Amino acid sequence: MRAEAVVDLAALRGNIRALRARTGPADVMSVVKADAYGHGMVPCARAALEAGATWLGTATPDEALALRAAGITAEQARVLCWLWTPDAPWERTVEAGIDISVSGGWALDRVLAAVRATGRSARIHLKADTGLGRNGAQPHDWPELVAAARAAEAEGLVAVTGLWSHFACADEPGHPSVPAQLTRFREALAVAEAAGLRPEVRHLANSPATLLLPESHFDLVRTGLAQYGLSPVPEVGGPDDYGLRPVMTLQAQLASVKQVPAGHGVSYGHSYTTPTDTTLALVPLGYADGVPRHASSTGPVLIGGKWRTVAGRVAMDQFVVDLGGDRAEVGDTVVLFGPGDRGEPTAEDWARACGTISYEIITRIGARVPRRYVGGSAADPVEGGGDG
Ligand SMILES: *Cc1c(COP(=O)(O)O)cnc(C)c1O
């Protein structure tokens, strides 16, 4: 193998259990959008359900339909999908028993058209914009949306199964928008309840709110980053502080090791020049694989037990590391990031080095990198199961 992303499903299950222990009676929705933040959607969804998650969350309808196509039934998991456009596969989604987020009248109209076309009632979650400014109905539009949904429910066309919203700044403790959004969410719930809606779940919390704001848990929390074992609030605490373990390890085999003289330019643009006679190692991963070009001359890797830094530019398929005269062999393992307990950098270290967040580091790992699953269970056999 050139390179691989090792995905530890035992760690993922442990993370779900740690989150459930924290959220008490509230259920856990495992957010598996974007190919489970790069980890592989279906194996991660199955592992999360085994560990007690009862809901799955996706952004796009195609992601939600792929879960059902993989055999995850409505009895095994409710699936909520929240990013809709007019030409989305509304009918297939209604037929698949997927919960649909509705932020405005146009979306409710699409749902009702799909209900008429399929002869099946739909499950919908009304979304309020409590301050994020993305999707969701504004407070002045909320009563009308609620009334229209309630009328459709009375006709047996839909069931309003959820009321929900999303935080803007839950990762910044003390940010004034957090209590303001909680207040607006409670007001939106009160309007809906006064109109006669009795949803199965009211939900607001993402990973940072799940870890830091128990008052935001309501009936269900929607956890993405935390279930993949990374801290959404690295300034407040690391994974260990929350009982979490990073799930993905990104590693490769060195593709070249060679001696070069002092003053040798390295990679495009020669932004790095060897300061001494030294050894250069070639890592066969580049920005096509999701290694940020912003990691040029700053991304950390572990080779032969030592942290090294990317030397010069990250190219499409490869980057170079200056081993400072240390020996290494072609085929030796280079670890870009992992849980950290073998001394390797973490995705958080990469995020800091590249001026981004760990969400982006893991999610952008490209399709060219094969995923290898370890820590599978008997109930969920996967390649490499049991050796993690
Ligand atoms: C991505 C997403 C989440 C999960 O966010 P994390 O911070 O990764 O837990 C929850 N809810 C919505 C609406 C999202 O888009």
Residue 90 beta carbon below 6 angstroms from any ligand 1 atom: no
pLDDT tens digits along 157-193 = 999 999 999 999 999 999 999 999 999 999 999 999 9
Evaluate if residue 383 carries a pLDDT over 80.
no
Confidence (pLDDT) at 286: 98
What are the structural domains, with CATH classification, of the chain? 9-227 (3.20.20.10), 248-356 (2.40.37.10)
Residue owning the nearest CA to atom 15 of ligand 1: 59
Cα torsion for 87, 92, 94, 95, to the nearest 10°? 170
Of residues 331, 299, 330, the one with CA closest to residue 312: 299
Angstrom distance (rounded) from CA 117 to CA 111 = 10
Looking at the CA of residue 222, tell me the nearest atom of ligand 1.
10
Q: Is the predicted pLDDT of residue 123 greater than 70, yes or no?
A: yes
The pLDDT of residue 338 is above 70: yes
pLDDT tens for 211-236 read 999 999 999 999 999 999 999 999 99
Tokens of 236: 């407040």
Contact 111, 89 (CB under 8 A): no
Q: What is the pTM of this model?
A: 0.96
Pick from 206, 223, 244, 361 the residue to mutate for probing ligand 1's pocket: most ligand atoms within 8 Å of its CB.
206
Mean pLDDT of the chain, nearest integer: 96
Give the span between the Cα atoms of 58 and 53, in whole angstroms.
14
Q: How far is the CA of 138 from the centre of ligand 1 (A)?
A: 20
Ligand 1 centre and the CA of 223: distance in Å? 6
CB 338 within 8 A of CB 325: no
The crossing angle, in degrees rounded to 10, of helices 142-154 and 177-194 is 40
Q: Render pLDDT for 345-361 as a digit per residue (tens, 0 to 9).
A: 999 999 999 999 999 99
Predicted confidence at residue 78, as pLDDT, reads 98
Task: Check pocket membership of 166 for ligand 1, CB cut-off 6 A.
Answer: yes
Instruction: Specify the pLDDT at position 245.
Output: 98
* Contact indicator for 301, 319 with CB cutoff of 8 Å: no
The per-residue pLDDT for 90 is: 98
Tell me the catalytic residues: 33, 268
Neighbour tally for 251: CB within 10 Å: 22
Phi/psi for 121 (5° steps) reads -75, 155
Give CA–CA dist 281/354, Å, rounded. Answer: 21
- Asked if residue 225 has its Cβ within 6 Å of ligand 1, the reply is yes
pLDDT single digits (tens) 1-39: 899 999 999 999 999 999 999 998 999 999 999 999 999
CB 110 near ligand 1, within 6 Å: no
Residue 256's alpha-carbon distances to 108, 278, 283, in angstroms, are 57, 14, 8
Instruction: Say which residue, 377 or 93, is predicted with more confidence.
Output: 93
pLDDT score at 384 = 43
In terms of Cα–Cα distance, which of 233, 205, 199 is closest to 217?
205
Residue 224 CA, ligand 1 centroid: distance in Å: 6
The percent of residues above 90 in pLDDT, for the chain, comes to: 96
Tens of pLDDT along 257-308? 999 999 999 999 999 999 999 999 999 999 999 999 999 999 999 999 999 9
Query: Across the strands, what pairs with 100?
Result: 81, 124
Whether the pLDDT of residue 378 is over 60: the answer is no
Percent of the chain exceeding pLDDT 70 equals 97
- Report the separation in Å between the CA atom of 204 and the middle of ligand 1, taken as the mean of its atom positions: 10
Quick one: pLDDT at residue 376?
A: 86
pLDDT score of 379 = 53
